[in-house]
Amino acid sequence: MLERTKANSPFYNADHDAFRDVMRRFVTREIEPYAHEWDEAGEFPRELYAKAAEIGLLGLGFPEEYGGVAADQFLKIVASQELARAGAGGVSSSLMSHTIGAPPIARAARAEIKARVLPEVLSGKKISALAITEPSGGSDVANLRTKARRDGDHYVVSGEKTFITSGMRADYLTVAVRTGGEGAGGVSLLLIEGDTPGLSRTKLKKMGWWASDTATLHFDECRVPVENLLGEEGQGFRLIMHNFNSERMGMAASCTAYARVCVEEAIAYARERHTFGKPIAQHQVIRHKLVDMAQKVAASQAMLEMLAWRLGQGESPVAEICMMKNQATQTMAFCASEAVQIFGGAGFMRGIKVERIYREVKVNAIGGGTEEIMKDLASRQMGL
């Protein structure tokens, strides 16, 4: 009903559909049967990265010379939305943390760094993470405090980062630091290796995304080679902002798909659950809830695909991407809440998709830029 395929959308072709089939088999075989177990354990096997690399998932959109796979916006949507079918945001977020950690490396690192690091990440042998958020602030990137002072052929890094996805296991950390004065112009990006002396990590416990390791990182006079600077000093803010558009589109695609999972799960449950002598799907109030959910998912998917097409035409619709991120997270929140309500007591029990997705609503509304920040940025882009 809510599926997007070549048959009912002009945006998808045979290549998209073929990859969708590959992704669906992968998720059905390698993730879905273990999602609850991994969530309860608070982690998933590291071997999953290599399995994801084998089907080309980790390489999507990265340069082919380093093991990447050519991918347009719609192939990325397919990947995000098929991963979401497992209803396991913790797995998806950590498995794909390189999609925010590695692009600055591909875009701005020295040639020798790219040649060494990217093949390891895209093959699933090493894990990449992005470290921007600090205890003193998240979205206020221009005022971050972690410092990197130049000392000969090294930078000496001191400070903290927090809420870092894949923070405990990452082998490569793309870290925002202050190399200059105040404001955005003083921000740079450094690639810091996970075994750097002076780096320590503290695991964090969360409301949702249990299977994703999330950490606070402590940098205590960490010496980082100057050649690990990504781009030039003072270019970090620009690289980070460029990264945000891609991250927000990916989150919007996932959130819309999680909402769709809630609709599908609620429909299936409403057909089999009986009250007062008939399936609850035959009660008008339940049918109307399901229609409202499906309507919001269809609207969000349409907006997502329109923006993906515009990006493919070379546009940079920043305001609309911000609104899209909010549209998707609000749709997810609505559908997750209604799905749990339809499930009733069963929806409050751990081990089912809608309960897990319900716990993961807020991290999506906060991560990648809060709903409030998205509105403010969109309004500025609109000249308000």
Q: Are 280 and 209 contained in the same domain?
A: no
- Write the DSSP string, 29-58: IIIGGGHHHHHHHT---THHHHHHHHTTST
User: Above 90 in pLDDT, residue 290?
Assistant: yes
User: Above 80 in pLDDT, residue 137?
Assistant: no
Range of the domain at 196: 128-234
What's 5's DSSP letter?
-
Query: First CA to last CA across the chain, in angstroms?
Result: 39
CA distance 39 to 102: 25
Q: Are 257 and 373 contained in the same domain?
A: yes
In-domain check, residue 7: no
Q: Are 98 and 140 contained in the same domain?
A: no
Q: Are 99 and 222 contained in the same domain?
A: no
At 142, the pLDDT band (50, 70, 90 cuts) reads confident
C-alpha dist (Å) from residue 181 to 78, 142, 187: 42, 11, 8
Contacts for 122 with CB less than 8 Å, ≥ 6 apart: 53, 58, 59, 62, 66, 67, 68, 98, 102
Q: How many domains does the chain have?
A: 3
Question: What is the pTM (predicted TM-score) of this model?
Answer: 0.94
At 143, the pLDDT band (50, 70, 90 cuts) reads confident
Residues 322-339 have a mean pLDDT of 98
What is the H or E stretch that residue 173 is in?
A: strand 172-178
Q: Are 116 and 146 contained in the same domain?
A: no
User: Above 90 in pLDDT, residue 171?
Assistant: yes
For 24-76, what is each residue's pLDDT tens digit? 999 999 999 999 999 999 999 999 999 999 999 999 999 999 999 999 999 99
User: Above 70 in pLDDT, residue 5?
Assistant: no
Q: What is the mean pLDDT of the chain?
A: 95
Q: Are 176 and 246 contained in the same domain?
A: no
Q: What is the CATH number of the domain that holds 219?
A: 2.40.110.10
The residue whose two tokens read 């990590």 is 201
Residues recorded for the chain: 384
Q: Are 135 and 253 contained in the same domain?
A: no
| Residue of 30, 247, 338, 360 with catalytic role | 247
Q: Are 165 and 267 contained in the same domain?
A: no
Active site residue 272: no
